[in-house]
Amino acid sequence: MLLLEYDAKAMMAERGIRVPRGVLVRAAADVPADFPLPLMIKAQVPVGGRGRAGGVLEVADATALTPAVQRMTSATIKGHRVRECLAEEMVAGHECFIGFALDHASGNVDVLLSESGGIDVEARNSDIVAERTDFDPVACRDAAMRLAARTREPLRAAFSDIAPRLAEMFFSLEAVLLEINPLFVRPDGSWIAGDAKLVVDDNALARQPALAALIRSRADAYPEVVGKLASGFDFAVLDAEGDVGLVTTGAGLTMQLIDELIARGCRPFNFCDIRTGEFRGDPARLIRVFETMAASPSIRAVLINFFAGITHLGEVSRLIVSALEAVPRLVLPITARLIGNGYDEAVAVLGAMPVPLVVEPDLERALDRVTAAAGRKRP
């Protein structure tokens, strides 16, 4: 998962990596009266290329602050609604770049340095010096120091100072990507991190208590990860005004179903990987998802898609019944596409429900039925 800039910088500051003074804001009034001007208003969204996408505004004086915060908090950047911004002190210096990136194919770490930084650094490959290094903190630190030695002063002094701290941070947090772009370097060799990109490993959170605590304390900012920590399965709202709710198992198949529904003109409300194999006789996951659907007025149809390799559909269907009984507010037309052992039993169990629920063994027909129920015509 990508940490938002504000949180990544908080982790940096704890490690002595200097970052500009900043505060998280949702309104201009959240900016302290004594905050130095000029300042930057930076949208906190988990995407790259934020500056070019309109996610960063400069505020020169106090009169410009309110309109800037208002404009940013009502913006959508690359599909992400902006909920909060980082109000940050303006810093200056020569812009450069330093990064550590795990190469997935080899399992090695790419250590990257550039004497120039900013928006297009990755497009200007010629400026980057790099070493592919063993997955080891000492090896990475040494590689970064070797690369730093190839740069000119005062950048060399700055890189040599920051590299060991970043290498330590990369490994101690089990990061897969850690970048500072731009890193501002002043003529005296002092430096400050202008931006921070930190991607950490969700799978390691159980042994990363500081990261887990940070993420839990910011449930609004990381609803998918916090939801998964709490419930054990993946659920993400894709389109808050979406018309089709998905109660599905399997990440890849659900991604594909989303693609196919959008191609049919639908607006899928959510991603879901509920993992039927982990139900173990408990309808809690289904109840949680049904409650979300019932509370979302734009949803007009629900698709259940369970391809059960091992789990018996009779058992699954009884859990669906319990969950629907627990969420009587959910009165939407439901199409349940079920494959696996116990299909006939599932049809009998679900057919007895006093809700508009149809069991359909064919996925294409199930998608067409959901599309029609959502009021969309197949293009």
Binding site for another protein (CB under 8 A): 1-2, 45-49, 78-80, 102, 104-105, 107, 122, 135, 171, 174, 176-177, 199, 201-204, 206-207, 224-225, 234, 236, 238, 249-256, 258-260, 262-263, 271, 273, 307-310, 339-340, 363-364
Nearer to another protein, 188 or 241 (CB): 241
**Cα–Cα distance list, 361 to 259, 270, 294, 367 (Å):** 20, 22, 25, 11
State the nearest-atom distance from the C-beta of 221 to another protein, in Å.
12
Nearer to another protein, 101 or 299 (CB): 101
State the nearest-atom distance from the C-beta of 308 to another protein, in Å.
8
State the nearest-atom distance from the C-beta of 273 to another protein, in Å.
4
Look up residue 244 and give its two tokens.
């089709």
Length of the chain: 379
State the nearest-atom distance from the C-beta of 256 to another protein, in Å.
4
State the nearest-atom distance from the C-beta of 74 to another protein, in Å.
19
State the nearest-atom distance from the C-beta of 233 to another protein, in Å.
9
Nearer to another protein, 107 or 187 (CB): 107
Nearer to another protein, 148 or 258 (CB): 258
Long-range residue pairs from 32-36, CB within 8 A, at least 24 positions apart, any chain: 35/87, 35/89, 36/89, 36/90
Q: How far from chain centre, in Å, is Cα 184?
A: 27
Nearer to another protein, 93 or 245 (CB): 245
State the nearest-atom distance from the C-beta of 297 to another protein, in Å.
22
State the nearest-atom distance from the C-beta of 241 to another protein, in Å.
15
Nearer to another protein, 263 or 295 (CB): 263
State the nearest-atom distance from the C-beta of 252 to another protein, in Å.
2
Nearer to another protein, 20 or 250 (CB): 250
Nearer to another protein, 127 or 234 (CB): 234
Nearer to another protein, 14 or 259 (CB): 259
